[in-house]
A and B are shown apart, each in its own frame.
Chain A
Amino acid sequence: MQKGVFDDFVREVMQSREFVAPVKGDQTKEVQESFFTDIKDPSQIEIGQLTYFPIKYYFFAKKEVLFSFHKNRIEEPEIDIPERVFFGLRLCDLNSIKHQDTVFLNNGFRADPYYQARREHSLLIGMHCKKGDDHCFCQSIGLKDFYDLMFFDKDEHTYGIDVGSEKGKAFVDEFRRFFEEKEEGYITPEDKVTINTFKLDTTNIKNLWDNEVWSSLSEKCTACAACNNLCPNCHCFTVEDEVEVGDVTKGQRVRKPAACLVKGFTRVAGDHVFRDDLVGRFRHRIFHQLEFFRDRYGETMCTGCGRCIRGCPAKIDWVTGINTAARKQRGGQE
């Protein structure tokens, strides 16, 4: 695609679909950090930096109505899902969607119908990221190619585009006039390179369970759960009933994201909290990201985007903490 026609392409897609892309936060408004939103004009798109907020809430809604009830009578919800094109997703964003797909669609149990509906009405277009910032460590994770279409900044005038799925191919066919067919191998391995200056030592994490690093890392943690909320992969949730004012027999059963850093995450009736200590909760999140998910599904859940470090009010850099602990442990064994 010629870069010169990109804005026209976006405008044409917007005729029939919502176009969700990264935008800068508004320094005069409440949300000052960058995020994904359905844009009204191509000039809003800001692909220069990783968004502060994750993409996940478009699929894993902040509040999903599972059903409404009146006493024991249950009614299926109608959810409003526009046809959406997501643009400007980085490979870390895309892999996080892949991991959410694993949990909600492909974990061996009946697919989650709400998530499925939202995903079916979406098309994922990536924008290749050439260089991460000081907190990015995606190269330590081993991300997979996962997209409907992927844009590469080929040269000053051209985007190279890789078609990653049937859905992506159908989309290109629909907007044919903006695309030029290229020979196989047009997107080279060099085009796919991403440079990281920050790295995570993943060699020995399993052996760090009883390490003192968790105490030192969680020392400054306030259990604010910013890491859970900003993480594109964290998918744990809570289910609760919301009743109508004046008639408690009517209401809705809703699902909302839940944060494992918060003490109440494992609180049961009788006020027993299973994961009572913050050290254990901190460790649980990192282990779920780096070990538990991989043990179950064969892929590391963390995508190395570094949002949890960037957004941490206490600036807890757990990656460096783990690297140091792993190095120490190796030193001790030698």
Chain B
Amino acid sequence: MKIKVDIGPYKPEPKKIISYKREAPDSFTIRLDWQIEHGPGQFVFCSAPGIGESAISICSDSRNYVDLNIREVGNVTNELGKLQVGDELLVRGPYGTQYPMQDLKGNDFLIIGGGCGVAPLRGVIKYIDGHREDFNDISLFLGFRSPEDALFKDEHEDWDKRHKLFMKFDKMEHENSTACYTGSQGFVTDLVKQEVHDNTNKIAIVCGPPIMIDKTVEILREKGFHDDQIFLSAERLMYCGMARCGRCMIRGKYTCVDGSVFRLDHFEDE
């Protein structure tokens, strides 16, 4: 018997690209004409038909549009890099957990990001800017490979005015580059070491490469942070977003539904 299947859960919808901005040599940000309820830290799946689907975190906080920062690092994302304003992109989502901003009111925030891990953190910053009275001091500790690789360069000045922005670069190849507002050579972990003194009423949100997360957590714990004050993002290969494909599992937790935002005391690495 032939059966027509309602493919609902796996069906991506076309959404129009309303702006496109190159951030760095291997990364760009697009804005989609897409109105969805979502929270900071959530992600969507983007399709490049014929190549595949990739999970991309949302880097905005708006009910009117969705911004995605995409690093061209694999087959799908390289294809997505060819998109232009006016094109349609196949997407589905949102998926995953979000930073529980409602429960974190009244705290100081340390927003610590490395490389493309800064993308979902921009969503957090946007959320805080929209609910500024709910939160106290906000410090941004961001690390990139070089000033040229820094994401959201246009916004750094504004971020520094509103909050405290600290930046480090692995390499300062372009010493005279004006591409970047501020920063010096070193690692983001150096900043955490220097600038963080105690854990009083502080929440740390960490997103970046695994080694950077591990080192940062180590330093935060040394500074007296408890695991329930630290949120991290874990990223894995994933195909479904519905706790089925099993690819994103980390010691029994599905990154796609139990994460990708985890409070550290709820997370056990392999």
The residues of A with any CB-CB pair to B shorter than 8 Å are: 66-67, 69, 71-72, 74, 76-83, 103-104, 107-110, 112-114, 117, 121, 235-241, 243, 248-249, 251, 253, 255, 258, 260, 265-270, 274-275, 280, 284, 287-288, 291-292, 295-296
Contact of B252 among A74, A243, A251, A291 (CB under 8 A): A291
Does B244 lie within 8 Å of A103, measured CB to CB? yes
Contacts of A275 in B (CB 8 A): 270
Least CB distance from B9 to A in Å reads: 4
Does B1 lie within 8 Å of A284, measured CB to CB? no
Contact of A296 among B2, B54, B235, B252 (CB under 8 A): B252
Least CB distance from A298 to B in Å reads: 13
How many B residues are at the interface, by size bracket?
35 or more
Is residue B35 within 8 Å, beta carbon to beta carbon, of the partner chain? no
Contact of A288 among B9, B12, B237, B246 (CB under 8 A): B246
Complex Cα spacing A197 to B68, Å: 57
Q: Pick out which of these stretches binds chain A: B45-53, B150-158, B174-182.
A: B45-53
Q: List 13 A-B contacts (CB under 8 A).
A: A72-B14, A72-B49, A74-B11, A79-B5, A107-B244, A109-B243, A236-B247, A239-B245, A258-B247, A268-B74, A268-B235, A269-B73, A280-B270
Contacts of B8 in A (CB 8 A): 110, 113
Q: Mark B10-48, 1 if CB is under 8 A from A, else 0.
A: 111010000000000000000000000000000000000
Least CB distance from B36 to A in Å reads: 16
Contacts of A238 in B (CB 8 A): 239, 245, 247
Does A104 lie within 8 Å of B244, measured CB to CB? yes
Is residue B227 within 8 Å, beta carbon to beta carbon, of the partner chain? no
For chain B, residues 51 to 69, give those with C-beta under 8 angstroms from any C-beta of chain A.
51-54
Interface centre among B12, B245, B257 (most CB of A within 10 A): B245
Does B244 lie within 8 Å of A258, measured CB to CB? no
The residues of B with any CB-CB pair to A shorter than 8 Å are: 1-12, 14, 49-54, 73-77, 88, 90, 235-237, 239-240, 242-247, 249, 251-252, 257, 270
Contacts of A260 in B (CB 8 A): 246
Interface centre among A66, A121, A270, A274 (most CB of B within 10 A): A274
Contacts of B5 in A (CB 8 A): 76-79, 113-114, 117
Known: A237-B239, A239-B52. A82 touches B1 (CB 8 A): yes
Complex Cα spacing A184 to B106, Å: 64
Does B4 lie within 8 Å of A251, measured CB to CB? no
Contacts of A77 in B (CB 8 A): 4-5, 7
Does B50 lie within 8 Å of A251, measured CB to CB? yes
Complex Cα spacing A310 to B230, Å: 46
Known: A71-B49, A113-B8. A107 touches B242 (CB 8 A): yes
Contact of B49 among A107, A251, A270 (CB under 8 A): A251
| New contact pairs (14) apart from A78-B5, A287-B252, CB-CB < 8 Å | A67-B7, A74-B12, A80-B3, A82-B1, A109-B243, A237-B239, A241-B49, A249-B49, A265-B237, A269-B73, A274-B237, A284-B270, A288-B252, A292-B249
